[in-house]
Structure 1
């Protein structure tokens, strides 16, 4: 896979400050930019010399990112019979970035897709964003504290919270967001998971 040492054209929207903040501590290796949209974070990571797999359902956006050296995957994550079509099976990534995208059934798959020691950097809109415009549909807004709760959505995966914020941002436009950086610390066996669930009950 060819890597780009620089990006020839800057994206219309700059990369998230949250993503920029944690880029220096992303583990070496492949980063999954999930639902990458126009590719602002893929471009940012490529410019830092990092390999990226950009996934989206928009072929035009992916074609442009291919020209910059990104590996790409055309895929609709919500196309499965239960509203989820996770394409990676047991394949894992060194890091995963998700920005301005929320599909709740994906969270257990996201956590399982991280290698041990891998980082998840996630940022999207939350309750209260309607005052600033779209999205305002609750289906696309995290509930208070939900991002923290979702870090426990896969009983076979343990996540260590590195940083978490819930509040208003001003750039690139005013919005109410939740954002988290979390590290996968270890994988639990099925027996461990059963013991944990029994203890909770």
Structure 2
């Protein structure tokens, strides 16, 4: 999907992914000391807003202008001390240029791209990581097609934990966790969480760290 496709999708409904943060983001990041974070493919901002509420200074980047407009509207409803920690940028994860010093946390959640584009985006994300920083990658796993539910049905944009590790080989990151995780979803075909559908989506989850300087 290109940026216009995503603009159309976001424009067609309110809060495509819901307002609550992704469960794996909460599980993996709740215990980290807040610093400066980058949320790549931030969408409507649910994960970035959650991080900012926990004290992080967050830049949310997405290539859908419609999604970012919605994120801006959500930000306007937040307390000033949270809203002031959020910055929204329109851009492409594959062309990311990190600021000097990098980020203490880079989050890449459900950025589903063909393999070459994914590799480029993930390497850019890794290069944006400051010494001692954390990179968390979460996405629809390839096995979701046969064993799970929801998410893209195109195998070209799905990946596995091993794919992520291969993409980032040689980038000096230590693997903290690389696994498939099951996420209960509702009755809809996307990756909105919760509900009573009794079905699981299968996600690839990879958490890596850069050594301290």
TM-score normalised by L of structure 1: 0.73
Q: Which runs of 5+ in 1 are unaligned?
A: 1-8, 78-83, 188-201
Tell me, in whole angstroms, the C-alpha distance in 1 between the residues paired with 2:110 and 2:180. Answer: 14
Q: How many residues align structurally?
A: 169
The answer for the alignment partner of 1:158 in structure 2 is 172
Cα–Cα, structure 1 residues 127 and 64, in superposed 2: closer, same or farther, change >3 Å? Answer: closer
Aligned twin of 1:198: none
CA contact (8 A) 1:162 1:182 kept: yes
Q: Is the 8 A contact 1:26 1:119 kept in 2?
A: no
Q: Name the SS of the counterpart of 2:21 in structure 1.
A: coil
What's the CA shift for 1:90? Answer: 5.3
Which secondary structure state, in structure 2, belongs to the residue aligned with residue 180 of structure 1? strand
Instruction: Measure, in 2, the Cα distance between the counterparts of 1:167 and 1:89.
Output: 32
1:176 to 178, 202, 212: 202
Determine the C-alpha separation between the residues in 2 that align with 1:24 and 1:168.
19
1:79-134 per-position Cα deviation (integer Å, ceiling 9, x unaligned)? xxxxx322336551110111111322212211111001000111001112224243
Q: Pairwise mapping of residues 10-29 of structure 1 onto structure 2 (< 5 A)?
A: 12-29=18-35
4+ runs deviating over 4 angstroms: none
Local SS of the residue matching 1:25: coil
Question: Are residue 118 (structure 1) and residue 133 (structure 2) matched?
Answer: yes
In 1: Cα distance, 2:36 partner to 2:201 partner: 30
Distance, in Å, in 1 between the alignment partners of 2:182 and 2:158 is 14
SS of residue paired to 1:130: helix
TM-score by length of 2: 0.69
Give the C-alpha shift of residue 148 in structure 1: 2.6
Alpha-carbon contact 2:34-2:55 (below 8 Å) kept:
no
1: distance between equivalents of 2:19 and 2:44? 9
Q: Is residue 2:45 matched to residue 1:31?
A: no
- Root-mean-square deviation (CA, aligned residues, Å) is 2.4
1:40 Cα deviation (Å)?
1.0
Hey, which of these two has a bigger chunk of helix by percent? 2
Over 3 Å counting, the alpha-carbon distance change for 1:139 and 1:105 in structure 2 is farther
Query: Residue 136 of structure 1: SS of its match in structure 2?
Result: coil
